[in-house]
Structure 1
Amino acid sequence: MEPRSSAHTDTFTRDRLPPPGQWPRLADLGYPDRLNCGTELLDATIGRLGPDRPAMRDANGPVWTYGQLRDRVDAIARALTDDLGVRPGNRVLLRGPTTPWLAACWLAVMKAGAVAVTVLAAHRPPELATICRLARVRYALCDARSVADLARAGVPGLRITVYGGDGPDDLRRLARRRTGPFEAVATAADDVALIAFTSGTTGRPKGCMHFHRDVLAIADTFSAQVLRPRPDDVFAGSPPLGFTFGLGALVVFPLRAGASALLTDWGGPRRLLADIAAHRISVLFTAPTAYRAMLPELAGYDLSGLRRCVSAGEHLPAATWRSWYDATGLRIINGIGATELLHIFIAAADDAIRPGTVGLPVPGFTARVVGADGRPVPDGEPGLLAVRGPTGCRYLADARQTEYVRDGWNITGDTCVREPGGYFRYLARADDMIVSAGYNIAGPEVEEALLRHPDVTEAAVTARADAERGQVVVAHVVLRAGVPRGAATAAALRAFTKSEIAPYKCPREIVFHTALPRTPTGKLQRFRLRPGAPERGGPAPGGF
């Protein structure tokens, strides 16, 4: 699919797209050549449903209607272009807690035809400096509570505009001077709208470039055809907007459907349950660990408004699915996605759900399991997951493009099995597969067995080098309060896992922890548990 004529006067991102021959094969959903996703998500939705519907809220403040949101977005877009000098194609870094103001800044960047680079609160000055260098960021909109680390990053020439502060140049103050509609830039459908960075903890971070049409594609595939939201839905969840999982779940999907969203940071299972009850949340996005953490806390919270639960970012054990269903009557929609493809591309809902599997390719996507040679393997055999659809990997000037995209397919790095009937079962990240004495062992399978033990609240499995076996399985376990950490408990857990799975898969070593390292969305960071891992890392690879 050849690039169309760009509206960007700053051609940095267009110039650093991979050659078209290195792109994945992309499905065409029939979008027009000129398309601004900010206009489509906001103005077009108002045109269909009116301006007076609730759009966004935070935990304590008033609800913003669609009309109020548009007024604020247009005022910020005017401030960007008239006061700050942002031009189409310029990269604008966004940093702050999950709030309606952060979402409004993202939408304003879209309407101004610039490129959003949304980062996490977890990113530290060296990581921020690297992201700004790779994307050549010269503008930043930053919540007053999050500005310190960005300032310490010392990015040359970076103009930081704070919002939520009391300074004379605060973005909100600038925006109040700008009234009236803003005419959005008529971007091309394949102008870059955002750059999402994967983690730099295992090397140089990769910038994933996504177009305006890609933003709509994730709403028109997974959200519209699997999630099936309604205009009266209220969305909420734990993922921050710096992850594409959170951007889709809390901004793109609700706005495309004319629904509303609660935008607030993750505050633990009790806080999430309280928000679900207080705000009548009906659509929830979070990670498997959060569903597990909420289970013992459910009593006393009214979840009667909740009708859709989505899990992604980490393997969802069948036991967790069943426990949540038994306790709430709600079937979790399990999904698999990637930063490189922007959002979820395999999932199933309602009667199509088969616990223990991820599901079926989302309409618009195709998937298969291939061997190291790129050829499909028979159903039932493990291999690498290959996906293609309307979105796909386009790294920012990165030679690793040819590792991720092969023969027109996105090779996601997940080891899966395609079962008869077309369902996909996740085994592990390819680099989390353990080879011990010639056996292939999927770490998540061992974790799931350990989690079935009543004394285990969290589990992670890694490999340790072994002279005799090549690798051996090491289990990292968090125990229920009051259970002693010692040789007797370790022996009991090993005996239990041998009754659940084949003995060769069982851990030879068990290490007890008070907590396991996770990303802000609850994704397990196994790499931080491996021998020689740094004490602190950023978000897990694949930051979805």
Structure 2
Amino acid sequence: MTDYEATYRAFRWERPEHFNFAADVVDRHARERPRGLALLWSDEAGRERRFTWEDVRRHSLHAAGFLASQGLRKGDRVFIMMPRVPEWWFLVLGCIRAGIVFMPGTPMLTVKDIRYRLVVAEANAVIADVSCLDRFEGLAGTGRVETWVSVGEGAPSPWVRYEAGAGGTGAHEGTFAPTRADDPLLIYFTSGTTGMPKMVLHTQASYGLGHVITGRYWLDLTPDDRHLTLSDTGWAKCAWGKLFGPWSQGACNVVYDFRGRFEPAKLLKILESQRVTTFCAPPTAWRAMVLQDLKGFDLSSLRHTVSAGEPLNPEVIDTWKAATGLHIREGYGQTETVVLVGMYPGVEPRVGSMGKPSPGFTVGVIDDQGREVADGQEGDIAVRVAPERPVGLFQGYLNDDGANAACRRGDWYVTGDRAVRDAEGYFWFVGRADDVIKTSGYRVGPFEVESALLEHAAVAESAVIGVPDDKIGQRIKAYVVLAPGHAPSDALAKELQEHVKHTTAPYKYPRDIEFVTELPKTVSGKIRRAELRGTAKK
């Protein structure tokens, strides 16, 4: 994208009657560029596997036929839990091809988490890597699950081993009925600040077609690119940057399979050795990477870098740009959506801003009555869904009328996040509606306080919440992880308070500072402020 305004004005959603990402996208690439590199996989041990578009087509046909041979049919629901191994992509594409609804789960889930998902989603089958089987102990007979498929050797009954065949030879290939664009595609489980995870239903088009925006415009991909997104297979970010986004544009999907603790130096070495051209990571990873000696790595192949998950602190963006010359361009969206707001290549970067609305979406900042607020005023981020609903939006929350009603306000879908839009159309993130702190009559977004803290050399990470206070409503409390070489002390706490007062408005300083060794986070790396609020004392 070179001209954002022209692209935004001209964009129109494709709305076919039938659509299937495996048949309509993957197979097209296989016809046009059969020997083109589609998947480049490597792991911590240095092993590497390469797959062309024709390889991916054959493997996914084989997977679809295998699942059908196990009695699974269009509309059935399959829970899939695997690490970053190539078979995950083949089996997911097999599900898509056969119209089987897949439900990704991270290998970090517990037995309790899995049981809840199998029951509430009425799963018909489970696909799991052998490395994850201990999480399924005692779950045989749960809900409607009748089919248990393992990937790898050594799984006991009732598990049936996935027969990968000799390179996906076609032993299980078959013919599958076309899927409608509005047929169900996948179900994600997304956690809120209260209650159990909600089920987010996407259709064949909402992700398969919707992520054209993500791949073509925000990730800025072409068939000549090698793209790496840092994501677990259980996160929606995997669909954004490791499946629909890059493969919609014919780019090579670079996968780094690591199972232990994230080591930023090893990832930087992968970017170097695999000649990655475009790269996306969550803020937690970016914060760790900029602490490395970036000049010690050859990152010259990179031409475009992005971040998503939650806002990225300006000092991280500045450090990366000073070392590489590249601006980390942010993108905003949800499990329920594709990218909604982004710092697109055709948009002049503004450090700290989310960017501008994505082509195909009308994004506004609204009040409690569903009216757009004036520029410069804070409100709820919302997407217009009437008179025409955008393609890249979820179908709804399954079996949850209350959640579906709560996210609708007049002609708008309300995201639950708050922002300010300026006179030039840039959006500036404030925080989750539930995270905004009300102190002494002021409204304070935790992100701005966290950003101020991170500008201090002693701070590696921070999380800010509001703690109930009889006098001022809420007082600001900060949890701080210190950088190497710094130790907790009352003097340092005072120094950080004064630093925030001078960096941002004085009323935003944290009255309480607690030094911790780590922050609670979701599996996708977002800070769990709700957990901190639950443990904070008055």
Q: Aligned partner of 1:357: which letter?
A: S
Deviation at 1:38, TM superposition (A): 1.8
**Corresponding residue for residue 54 of structure 1:** 37
**Partners of 2:190 and 2:477 in 1: how far apart?**
27
Distance 1:200 1:434, change over 3 A: closer
Cα distance in structure 2, aligned partners of 1:185 and 1:487 = 67
1:129-168 to structure 2, matched below 5 A, reads 129-154=115-140, 155-158=142-145, 159-166=147-154
Aligned length: 505
How far, CA to CA, are the matches of 1:153 and 1:462 in structure 2? 38
Give the residue type in structure 1 aligned to 2:474: Q
Q: In structure 1, what is the equivalent of residue 14 of structure 2?
A: 30
Residue number among 404, 407, 413 corresponding to 2:407 in the alignment: 404
Compare 179-188 and 242-251 and name the one that shifted more.
179-188
Contact in 2 for aligned 1:57/1:100 (Cα 8 Å): no
- With 491-500 and 59-68 compared, the bigger mean Cα shift is at 59-68
What amino acid maps onto 2:352 in structure 1? G
Contact 1:450 1:459 in 2 (8 A): yes
Cα RMSD for the two superposed structures: 2.0
Query: Does 1:183 find its partner at 2:183?
Result: no
Counterpart of 1:363 in structure 2 is 359
Corresponding residue number in structure 2 for 1:85? 71
User: Structure 1: which 4+ aligned runs deviate by more than 4 Å?
Assistant: 173-178
Question: 2:196, 2:379 → 1: CA distance?
Answer: 26
- Answer yes or no: is 1:192 the counterpart of 2:192: no
Match of 1:171 in 2: 162
Alpha-carbon separation, structure 1, partners of 2:342 and 2:311: 12
1:133, distance to aligned residue in structure 2 (A): 1.3
Query: What is the rounded CA distance, in whole Å, between the counterparts of 2:494 and 2:251 in structure 1?
Result: 51
Which one of 27, 34, 41 corresponds to residue 43 of structure 1? 27
Q: Quick one: distance in 2 between partners of 1:180 and 1:88?
A: 16
Structure 1 residue 221, shift from structure 2 partner: 1.8
Question: What is residue 391 of structure 1 aligned with on the other side?
Answer: 392
In structure 2, what is the Cα distance between the partners aligned to 1:150 and 1:238?
Answer: 26
Once the two structures are overlaid, the 10-residue window that deviates more, 436-445 or 512-521, is 512-521
Partners of 1:415 and 1:429 within 8 A in 2: yes
SS in 1 for 2:114: helix
Partners of 2:523 and 2:329 lie apart in 1 by: 20
Matched-pair contact (CA < 8 Å) for 2:211–2:392: no
Aligned to 1:291: 286
Aligned CA distance change for structure 1 residues 496 and 265 (closer, same or farther; 3 Å)? same
For residues 27-73 of structure 1, what are the alpha-carbon distances to aligned partners after superposition, in whole Å with 9 as ceiling and x for unaligned? 972332111122123102223x3211111122122201111111111
Task: Give the CA deviation at 1:177.
Answer: 7.6
- Asked whether 1:458 is paired with 2:461, we answer yes
User: Once structures 1 and 2 are overlaid, which stretch shifts more, 145-154 or 56-65?
Assistant: 145-154
Q: Distance in 2 between matches of 1:34 and 1:237?
A: 29
2:483 is matched by which residue type in structure 1? R
Aligned residue in 2 for 1:499: 502
- Residue identity opposite 1:138 in structure 2: N
Q: Which residue of 1 aligns with 2:320?
A: 324
Q: Distance in 2 between matches of 1:172 and 1:64?
A: 18
Cα gap change, 1:88 to 1:525, in 2 (>3 Å):
same
Q: Give the secondary structure class of the aligned counterpart of 1:431.
A: coil
* Residue number in structure 2 paired with 1:6: none
Decide whether aligned partners of structure 1 residues 321 and 173 sit closer, same or farther in structure 2, where only a CA change above 3 A counts.
closer
Of the three residues 304, 308, 315, the one matched with 1:308 is 304
Distance 1:43 1:291, change over 3 A: same
Matches within 5 A, 1:244-255: 244-255=236-247
- The secondary structure found in structure 2 opposite 1:461 is strand
The one-letter amino acid paired with 1:234 is R
The answer as to whether partners of 1:346 and 1:358 remain within 8 angstroms in 2 is yes
Question: Does the Cα contact within 8 Å between 1:58 and 1:262 map onto a contact in 2?
Answer: yes
Q: Is the 8 Å Cα contact of residues 238 and 265 (structure 1) preserved in structure 2?
A: no
- Partner of residue 217, structure 1: 209
* Aligned-partner Cα distance in 2 for 1:149–1:62: 27
1:74 to 61, 64, 70: 61
* Residue aligning to 1:16: none
The equivalent of 1:417 in structure 2 is: 420
The one-character-per-residue Cα deviations of 1:504-542 (angstroms, maximum 9, x if unpaired) are 110000000112122343222222222338xxxxxxxxx
CA distance in 1, matches of 2:225, 2:502: 44
Matched position secondary structure for 2:256? coil
Contact 1:319–1:452 (CA<8 Å) still a contact in 2? yes
| SS of equivalent to 1:465 | strand
Distance 2:469 2:116 in 1: 36
Partner SS state of residue 276, structure 1: helix
* SS of aligned partner of 1:172: coil
The one of 211, 218, 221 aligned to 1:226: 218
Q: Cα offset for 1:200?
A: 6.7
Task: Kindly indicate whether the alpha-carbon contact (under 8 Å) linking 1:28 and 1:390 is maintained by their aligned counterparts in 2.
Answer: no
TM-score (norm 2): 0.90
Structure 2 residues not aligned, in runs of 5+ = 1-10, 385-389
Distance in 1, matches of 2:242 and 2:64, equals 21
User: SS state of the match for residue 65, structure 2?
Assistant: helix
Contact 1:239/1:520 (<8 A) preserved = no
- Secondary structure of the 1:530 match is helix
Counterpart code for 2:115: A
Tell me the distance in 1 between the aligned counterparts of 2:273 and 2:114. Answer: 36
Q: Deviations over 1:215-273 (max 9, x none)?
A: 23333223213332011211212212222211120111221111111223453211211
Deviations 1:1-25 (A, max 9, x none): xxxxxxxxxxxxxxxxxxxxxxxxx
Aligned residues of 2:165 and 2:171 also touching (Cα < 8 A): no
Deviation at 1:421, TM superposition (A): 1.2
Distance of 1:415 and 1:173 partners within structure 2: 47
Structure 2 distance, partners of 1:122, 1:218, is 28
**Higher RCO (CA < 8 A, seq sep 6+):** 1
Taking structure 1 as reference, are residues 80 and 301 closer, same or farther at Cα in structure 2, changes over 3 Å only?
same
SS of residue in 1 equivalent to 2:535? coil
Give the whole-Å Cα distance in 2 for the aligned partners of 1:201 and 1:370: 21
- Would the aligned equivalents of 2:215 and 2:248 in 1 still touch at CA under 8 Å? no
Secondary structure at the counterpart of residue 58 of structure 1 = strand
Deviation at 1:180, TM superposition (A): 7.0
Q: Is the 8 A contact 2:216 2:222 kept in 1?
A: no
| Superposed CA offset, 1:428-485 (max 9, x none) | 1111100011111111000000001111111110111111111100011011222120
Equivalent in the alignment of 1:113: 99
For 1:70, the aligned partner's letter is R
Identity of aligned residues (%): 32
